[in-house]
Amino acid sequence: MPEPIKWDSKVVLAKLEATYGVDPAPTGAANAIELKNVAFNPMEGSSETRDFERAYLGGQSEIPVGLYSKLSGEVELVGSGTAGTAPAWAPIMRALGMAEVIVAATSVTYNPISSGMDSVAIYFWIGGTRHVMLGCRGTGSIEINAQKIPVLKFTLTGTFAVPTELAVPVTDYTAFKAALVATTTNTPVFTVDGVSMVLSAFAFDLGNDVQQRLLINRETIIIVDRNEAISAKVEAVPLDVLDPFTMANDPNKRLAVNITHGTAAGLTTAIAAPNCQMARLSGYENSQKILEWPLKMKPLPNSGAGNDQFTVTLT
């Protein structure tokens, strides 16, 4: 009997595709992604029942159709260690419908785009079984919670291919830096409408609508829409300091949300959403017998050109 395949024997490689759906052949030395909480759905889709008329009762054979694969996981939210150098997880960000703008020795900035989106190829091993996903795009969220390691969570969808048995590559994760836990010192900025707030949990959801368009002469994974959302659990303050009720009740009110994690060059991440709308506050929360507001805010385009509702900047 062969040895059982161990659940923790996973390897993920990701590389940008120069041409959509064309395998760029990622390698363990250059394209390994250091992930945690990985989940993989190898053969999503549906089945087409043949439904023949018979003179007897019984099951009908089926043909699998519309097949695709999904990979979910988390990367720690930390830069490359060098300002102006993209992090090792940059291909994931670009597959989430974002442009990458690099200012040498200064910054790497990600902002949403509505066309010309990148795609990545994924090689996923569990044991010696390799799955190949091409044309991957997806959605994700950034979470920064007190006393936790901030993470980028993502789900990528790609085309299906029959897996094969192949030797696991040697991987190099040295480009991934150790992240800092979110604390007062390590997360020096969190403001809502310019007011510094005491924060217990923050989430920025990209809200990408990812569709499988599997047609004759076109088999692609596309992002057809997005609907970003910010949620933040904060300690409540007097209304003359911050009034989320009046803000939510005014459809013309816009406010900025800013959070910065990290303080060292090359290891600092700042999220800025300059034009948010406050959603109605639907309830209060009790945390250690302290009143907290579960704020929800919607980033909106900030100009007629759009694609400026948020930035994620690494410095």
pTM of the full structure = 0.95
Q: Is residue 62 part of a domain?
A: no
Sign, CA dihedral 153-158-161-167, equals negative
Query: CA 206, CA 123: separation in Å to the nearest integer?
Result: 24
Tokens of 254: 């816009």
Mean pLDDT of all residues in 160-182:
97
pLDDT tens digit sequence for 191-215: 999 999 999 999 999 999 999 999 9
Report the percentage of the chain scoring pLDDT > 70.
100
Closest CA to 168 of 121, 217, 129: 129
Q: How many domains does the chain have?
A: 1
Per the CB < 8 A criterion, the answer to whether 163 and 179 are in contact is no
Confidence of residue 1 (pLDDT cuts 50, 70, 90): confident
Q: Is residue 288 part of a domain?
A: yes
Q: Is residue 159 part of a domain?
A: yes
Q: Is residue 55 part of a domain?
A: no
Q: Is residue 109 part of a domain?
A: yes
Mean pLDDT of all residues in 268-278:
98
Residue 273, pLDDT score: 98
Q: Is the pLDDT of residue 234 over 90?
A: yes
Tell me which residue range forms the domain holding 219. Answer: 10-46+67-314
Mean pLDDT of all residues in 149-153:
98
Q: Is residue 5 part of a domain?
A: no
Residue 42, pLDDT score: 97
pLDDT tens digit sequence for 69-111: 999 999 999 999 999 999 999 999 999 999 999 999 999 999 9
Q: Is residue 51 part of a domain?
A: no
- What is the CB-side half-sphere exposure of residue 119 using CA atoms within 13 A? 24
CA angle 282, 283, 289 (to 5 degrees): 160
Residue 70, pLDDT score: 98
Q: Is residue 4 part of a domain?
A: no
- If DSSP codes are grouped into helix, strand and coil, which group holds residue 249? helix
> What mean pLDDT value characterizes the chain?
97
Sheet strands (E) in 187-268: 189-192, 195-196, 199-205, 208-215, 218-226, 229-235, 255-261
Query: CA 77, CA 86: separation in Å to the nearest integer?
Result: 12
